[in-house]
A and B are shown apart, each in its own frame.
Chain A
Amino acid sequence: MIFTLLIVTGLLVILNISIGSSHISVHEILNVLFTGAGDGHNKMIIMDIRLPMALMAVVVGASLGVGGCEIQTILRNPIASPYTLGISAAASFGAAMGLILNANLFHVSDTLVVTANSFAFALLVAFAIYIFSRQRQIGKTAIILFGVALNFLFSSLTMILQYIANEDELQSLIFWNFGSLLKTTWSKFYIVLAVLIICFVILFKNAWKLTAMTLDDTKARSIGVDTAKVRRTVIFITSLLSAIAVCFVGTIGFIGLIAPHIARQLVGEDQRFFMPLSALTGAFVMSLAFVVSKLIIRGVILPIGLVTSVIGIPFFITIIFSKMRSM
């Protein structure tokens, strides 16, 4: 299963490099990738533009897939995702501060203002949830409610900024919120990849403990899991994963929700398989959405966040209905 998904995702990466304003044949792509030589501008287009974007789709999808998988596990809530905790809303507010108020909070270069602001606010929420979850007697429901409250708070703050924004600023913010891979660079890709690898290794080393987190808290504690500590650690790691992904590509909805659901249907909740498959499914769905985003309107690349939402919302409704039927 994992092997098949790897191959299909690899094929989608090739397809993503091939499709664009100018079509590049698979033969030419393989030629550039393996020999470093290509016709005309093909080498530049592939190596500097399309390959980093195609790979960014893979690592962002994997990050959101792993994040969703672990958030659903520790909160024992199948409709939770990194967005449930308000991270996306906070990142969006950070971006809005940069785009509308021109607030350069960290005195970075102009091109990095939006990224830095959105990352800072996403991380701020991650820390807020981490500190909140450190309080004694804080259960999973309280954490979800706290996340939902932060979500509303930052959404409202963003709306206030939208209200005072001029037309250009408003358009920029709306476009940022759509989610897009178009501003990907190799350095951004490497940062997301490095964070993904570090977080994945930490989580994977604790796979059995995370599997035990699918049980009731008392049951998990009875077999030696410090549930509060695991929950805090996972919240921090998944928040970091989501914050990094969101700050570079904007809001990408529903990958964190869909990927773990598909993976769970395929391999159950043994985290030794569930987590890697969630990552791979996230990468696959994101790559597929990127292909679809280029095919809907010829010559135009739709923001990928729109495509993932269009795929995700019917799926989300299906989950709710199937849950209602099983109740």
Chain B
Amino acid sequence: MITVDNLSFSYKKNKASHQVFDDLNLSFAKGFNVILGPNGAGKSTLIKSIFGLLDYKGNISYNKVSITSMNIEDKIKLMSYLPQMDMEISTLTVLEMVILGRLPELRHKVSEEDLNIVMDTLASLNITSLATRNFSELSGGQKKLVFIAQTLVRKPKLILLDEPVNSLDLQKQLELCQLLQKIVNKQNVDIIVILHDINLAARYAQHIVVLDENGSIYNSGKPCEVITSKMLEEVYGVIANLIYDDKDIPIIAPVSSVHNV
């Protein structure tokens, strides 16, 4: 799985520089990984670095093979990435948009195999009925599902998702997490997801990495080890009660911020 060694990265604009990571070391586990952390902790920067969108110092490897120096064609075969983004205007139809996810394999005429994969993915997300709709006409949540479908159709070994449940209703959030869980179990795919909903992370993640506001690792491990009242207070600045369900999964009931507002 993904191992990050001595990762350092700064955003630079003009002469100003903002250091996000300074010598960060961490490992993800096989299966369903979730990155947690407050705003500005560097969660998206970490995922972008793994996908190779940023020039960083250090090394990132997948199953001990360095992906830092891997070319874009090999990276695309290995992993797919859903960026965090707002609504997008496009004249493409949903079908065209999702087919684009198969880009490395696409020939001029879309093959039956490509089309079957696309239709199966749309069906697994319950959005087959949207296939012929214009992408721009969709709601924010529907657009998100289309982009998730685009990310899944490539059948990669590693899927990186940056806040995929944003703008989805509660049912869709649960369905998406269940689908990701199914993909992990049946297709032997590893997933790294950024979530803000700690309850979802607690329920579905096999491994959680918590980044603090300085871009350092606060803790990592199984959900029941990582999600504690202390972590919520120290990382998120939130006082919360933790309740455990019959499977010992923590459920967070926030009480207040540590700051007086």
Q: Do A and B come from the same complex?
A: yes
Residues of A within 8 A of B (CB): 207-209, 211-212, 214-216, 218-219, 221-226, 264, 268-270, 272
Measured CA separation A221–B83 after assembly (Å): 10
| Stretch in B35-43, B60-68, B90-98 with 4+ CB within 8 Å of A | B90-98
Binary contact readout B26-58 vs A (1 if CB under 8 angstroms, 0 otherwise): 000000000000000000000000010100000
Any chain A CB within 8 A of the CB of B123?
no
- Cβ-defined contact, A264 with B72, below 8 A: no
State how many angstroms separate the Cβ of A263 from the closest Cβ of chain B. 11
- Cβ-defined contact, B85 with A218, below 8 A: yes
- Cβ-defined contact, A269 with B83, below 8 A: no
Measured CA separation A222–B79 after assembly (Å): 9
Partner of A216, one of B85, B92, B151: B85
Any chain A CB within 8 A of the CB of B70?
no
Any chain A CB within 8 A of the CB of B130?
no
Measured CA separation A149–B59 after assembly (Å): 42
State how many angstroms separate the Cβ of B211 from the closest Cβ of chain A. 21
Taking CB as reference atom, which chain B residue is nearest A209? B103
- With a 10 A CB-CB cut-off, give which of A208, A215, A222, A272 has the most chain B CB atoms: A222
Any chain A CB within 8 A of the CB of B113?
no
- Cβ-defined contact, A221 with B53, below 8 A: yes
- Cβ-defined contact, B76 with A224, below 8 A: yes
Taking CB as reference atom, which chain B residue is nearest A225? B103
Any chain A CB within 8 A of the CB of B101?
yes
Any chain A CB within 8 A of the CB of B21?
no
Any chain A CB within 8 A of the CB of B82?
yes
- Cβ-defined contact, A215 with B88, below 8 A: yes
Measured CA separation A215–B103 after assembly (Å): 13
Partner of A224, one of B72, B88, B91: B72
Measured CA separation A146–B108 after assembly (Å): 34
Binary contact readout B87-119 vs A (1 if CB under 8 angstroms, 0 otherwise): 010111100100011011010100000000000
- Cβ-defined contact, A214 with B90, below 8 A: yes
- Cβ-defined contact, A214 with B85, below 8 A: no
Residues of the A chain whose Cβ atoms lie less than 8 Å from the Cβ of B106 = 208
Residues of the A chain whose Cβ atoms lie less than 8 Å from the Cβ of B72 = 224, 226
Residues of B within 8 A of A (CB): 51, 53, 72-73, 75-76, 80-83, 85, 88, 90-93, 96, 100-101, 103-104, 106, 108, 147, 150-151, 154
Partner of A222, one of B81, B88, B90, B104: B81
Measured CA separation A270–B134 after assembly (Å): 12
**Known contacts A223-B103, A224-B76; is-contact A218 B53 (Cβ 8 Å):** yes
Residues of the B chain whose Cβ atoms lie less than 8 Å from the Cβ of A207 = 108
Measured CA separation A224–B83 after assembly (Å): 13
- Cβ-defined contact, A269 with B90, below 8 A: yes
Measured CA separation A223–B80 after assembly (Å): 7
- Cβ-defined contact, B82 with A222, below 8 A: yes
Partner of B92, one of A214, A223, A224: A214
Measured CA separation A268–B83 after assembly (Å): 24
- Cβ-defined contact, A219 with B147, below 8 A: yes
Measured CA separation A208–B108 after assembly (Å): 8
Partner of B91, one of A208, A214, A222, A225: A214
Residues of the B chain whose Cβ atoms lie less than 8 Å from the Cβ of A270 = 92, 96
Measured CA separation A208–B97 after assembly (Å): 11
Measured CA separation A80–B76 after assembly (Å): 31
Residues of the A chain whose Cβ atoms lie less than 8 Å from the Cβ of B104 = 224
26 A-B contacts, Cβ less than 8 Å apart?
A207-B108, A209-B103, A211-B92, A211-B96, A212-B103, A214-B90, A214-B91, A215-B88, A216-B85, A219-B85, A219-B88, A219-B147, A221-B53, A222-B80, A222-B81, A222-B83, A222-B151, A223-B100, A223-B101, A223-B150, A223-B154, A224-B75, A226-B72, A268-B91, A269-B90, A270-B96
